[in-house]
Chains A and B, each alone.
Chain A
Amino acid sequence: MPLLTRHIHPGWLIIAPLLVLVVTLYLGPILNILWLSVTDPEPGLGNYAQLGESDALIRIIWTTVRICIITTVFSVVLGYSIAYAMVHCHQRQKNYMLTLLLVAFWISILVRTFSWLMLLGRRGLVNVALEDIGLIVEPIAFMRNELGVLIGMVHYMIPYAVLPLLVSMQSLDTRVMDASRNLGASGVQTFWRIYLPMTTPGLVASTLLVFILSLGFYVTPAILGGGKVLMVAEYISVQLLVTLQWGTAAMLAALMLFGVLAMLWMMSRFMKLSTVFGGSTR
């Protein structure tokens, strides 16, 4: 035993069950998917070659990336202003805001998606009200198109954008801003040159979180897109359940996985990822 503990830190024994779980229940299936992507229907890189041959696949991937980028930009900008307001208002108001944010956060995605249909649908509250007061003649097509998908996704993603930003803003040393003002910088200058750079780790964290979660969206595009907005997650599910092209599905899943990993790697070239995820800067 002493020999063993000299070479292996006893902490590993405590972590071991977790490691075994992660490896068997998480890495196993992922490897299985990667394996499927090069073996089904026949061994080789045929599934990946489809990317070069099929305009349809490229278009689906492009739709997904485009929607995710737009969703991320809107969610993070709105999230930043919400977090900023929360940090700088009274504790009481802040509690109200946090409660509202968390209530939205906890409501099921299905409920939130269908609520948008009731609110902004063709015969929804907004369209009917606008028609009744004579502002519009034809209902505005908010839903069942790409705009609808974006509205639904941004709304769903805002709490995910706010929470990392809130943590980042709350931990700032406010004396730095005072010093900046004291040394003659205007409020705007202080924001752009001091405040924003200091909240960058929070910004990166919420951008990554929102973008990665958006990539896997399924329910919202399927319902609010009216069938015309096809994203990768829904396409994968069709290939698995309806057309039985498991190789194509596995290839797309692998592609998304590598896409996310590549993004993390690129980020790590510019900054220490541990700061993004709340670790120390050193």
Chain B
Amino acid sequence: MLGRQFMKETLQDSAHAYKEGRMDRRTFLALCGASGVAMSAVMAGDAQAAADHVVMWNWGGQSEECHGSAIGDPFTEATGMGLRFDTSGPLEGKIKEMVDSGNVTADVADADLFNAVSLGVTGHLEPIDYSVVSKDKTLPGFALEHGVSVILYGYAFVYDTEAFGDNPPQNWADFFDTEKFPGMRSLYKWANGSLEAALMADGVPGDALYPLDMDRALAKIKSIKDDSLYWGSGSEAHSMVVNGEVSLGMVWQNRGRNIENDTDGRFKLVNNQAMAMPGAYIVPKGNPAGAAAMQFIATAQEVSAQLSLLDCLGMTPSNPEAFDQIPEDQQPYAITSAMNIDKIVYNDPVWWGENGGAAVNAFLDAIS
């Protein structure tokens, strides 16, 4: 471990030296070779990135541009360090694999807060440095030892106004009521949100969901199985609604605006009982840029960055200071806006971190 740390620092110093022309290319490459960093990675500039960049591991698409302008630019201004992206999607298994292999190439992963719980106890994450990152700039309970919520997203649903325009569905109980609201509906395939929605539909109050009563939730899920489809990605959820495959669709609430636009207002978003999910930034153990990752996270907590992420990605701020600055046109679509904040419920990342694996498998067993 000590040897690796030494190697990393040597490599970072030599990356600087190489860039400034104090070291020739061959020596630098030899050093990289000796420390086990792939030549191709060096050629792509990753070793330099380790020295003066933070690498953000996100999900690609628009987020690259949005994270760049919302967090990357102010971060560069404040620290002089750049921002690079790995857009391959930091799924829990990939983070574990990266840390276990000893070849950590990312600094900050755009993940879920429950990942911080499950990967934290197994030693795959750096603890958050709360002398740099602020516990007050997120909702209470969402600043954990190994991860802090920077944005919120949510599980809400959209409904077909042509089918149910006169008497629209109001809550999850209506969503699960196939007699009053006939037609296909879509739910999230990896259990999250779907289980909570089922329990609320079955009469469990939103503030008494955890620990989840799995048997009760799964029975409710199975009761509408014949009328359900299940989606695995945001775009799949979107296309199921837009292509008219479902009349009621659970969606990530930040997709609500796009769906309303793409269907010319035929589908409408319902935020009542929407579940706020803490999206978190977590740091893989032994990340190349070291402590700079914490400064990056702190930058992302600033109100300006939070509002910019809302504008660009539709991700809701988790910093309470930003709540009352949510612009008028975003009010219906931001889960913690003044319009919605009293209607929503909150996910428990600790329960999901500890029980998520078993819950996902039980859910898959119930729907397949």
Contacts and interface: CB of A to CB of B under 8 A. Distances in A.
Given A144-B229, A227-B367, A243 B357 contact: yes
Given A222-B232, A223-B236, A238-B360, A228 B368 contact: yes
Given A117-B243, A238-B360, A242-B93, A226 B368 contact: no
Interface string B177-195: 0000000100001100000
A237 to B, nearest CB: 9
Interface in B216-231: 225, 228-231
A65 B157 CA distance: 36
Interface string A34-66: 000000000000000000000110011001000
A59 B367 CA distance: 12
A245 B245 contact: no
Interface in B352-367: 356-358, 360-361, 364-365, 367
B84 interface: no
A235 B245 CA distance: 25
B194 to A, nearest CB: 10
A244 B245 contact: no
A238 B361 CA distance: 9
A122 B364 CA distance: 24
B266 interface: no
B248 to A, nearest CB: 14
B252 to A, nearest CB: 16
A215 to B, nearest CB: 17
B94 interface: yes
A63 B91 contact: no
Contacts of A121: 243, 245
Contacts of B184: 122
A246 B358 CA distance: 13
A90 to B, nearest CB: 42
A278 to B, nearest CB: 37
A227 B230 contact: yes
Interface in B112-129: 118
B155 to A, nearest CB: 16
B93 A240 contact: yes
A242 B92 contact: yes
B236 A122 contact: no
A63 B367 CA distance: 13
A66 B324 CA distance: 56
Interface string B193-217: 0000000000000000000000000
A86 interface: no
Contacts of A246: 93
A240 B96 CA distance: 10
B244 interface: yes
A238 B358 CA distance: 12
A235 B367 contact: no
A150 interface: no
Contacts of A33: none
A212 to B, nearest CB: 23
A245 B232 CA distance: 19
A241 interface: yes
Nearest to A118: B243
A272 interface: no
A213 B101 CA distance: 30
Contacts of B189: 227
A166 interface: no
B229 A226 contact: yes
B58 to A, nearest CB: 16
B39 to A, nearest CB: 18
A123 B243 contact: yes
B245 A63 contact: no
Nearest to A222: B232
B368 A59 contact: yes
A34 to B, nearest CB: 18
A229 interface: yes
Nearest to B225: A228
B232 A244 contact: no
Given A59-B368, A238-B364, A123 B190 contact: no
Contacts of A56: 361, 364-365
A46 B118 CA distance: 22
Interface in A79-129: 117, 121-123
A129 to B, nearest CB: 15
Contacts of A227: 189, 228-232, 367-368
A235 B365 CA distance: 10
Interface string B328-368: 00000000000000000000000000001110110011011
A230 interface: yes
A226 B231 CA distance: 7
A56 B218 CA distance: 14
A142 B231 CA distance: 17
Nearest to A128: B244
A2 B228 CA distance: 73
Interface of A: 55-56, 59-60, 63, 117, 121-123, 144, 222-223, 226-230, 235, 238, 240-246
Given A122-B244, A122-B245, 17 more contacts: A56-B361, A63-B368, A121-B245, A122-B184, A123-B243, A123-B245, A222-B232, A223-B236, A226-B229, A226-B230, A238-B364, A241-B91, A241-B94, A243-B361, A244-B96, A244-B118, A244-B357
23 contacts: A56-B364, A63-B368, A117-B243, A121-B245, A122-B244, A122-B245, A123-B243, A123-B245, A227-B230, A228-B230, A230-B364, A230-B367, A230-B368, A235-B364, A238-B364, A242-B91, A242-B92, A242-B356, A242-B360, A243-B357, A243-B360, A244-B92, A244-B357
Closest 5 CB pairs of A and B: A227-B230, A243-B357, A230-B368, A241-B93, A123-B244
